[in-house]
Amino acid sequence: MRRKNKLLVTTVGILVLLATLGATSMNASAAFVSPTKVSESDGAYQGEWVNLEGVVTDLEVDGETITFAVTDENHTVPVVYEGTVPDTLQDGRVVVAKGQFEGDRLVANKLSVRAHEGEERPESTR
């Protein structure tokens, strides 16, 4: 390879690496928020990546579209997610929904269901 080609390949490689690191760090820096914090923010989270944490209520599954609400006993935020339903997702479980706010709801692209807290696991998870 000529020196000019080596320089071009190296430059493109570095740019791809920087772009990947930038995209990864932006998603990783999403704030953890509660429904109360969202409700009291006056729309400050619109279009922002967040990790919404709370208890699942009003769970409905229609094919690969999942709708539910996340509550912290003070406020409730509606969530919509398209994808495979996690086996442990059910009403009363603690979930972290990662996504962006569109209007008053969170459009999630990733769900993490927390392990059951306390000594007794629900019968359905044994």
For residue range 109-123, what is the model confidence (pLDDT) as tens digits? 888 887 655 444 445
* 68 touches 29 (CB < 8 A): no
pTM for this structure? 0.65
Placement of tokens 């912290």 in the chain: 72
| Of the candidates 77, 27, 66, 71, the residue with the CA atom closest to the CA atom of residue 48 | 27
Mean pLDDT of 92-120: 79
Question: Average pLDDT, whole number, for the chain?
Answer: 79
d(CA 122, CA 92): 10
Binned at pLDDT 50, 70 and 90, residue 21 comes out as confident
**Confidence (pLDDT) at 124:** 45
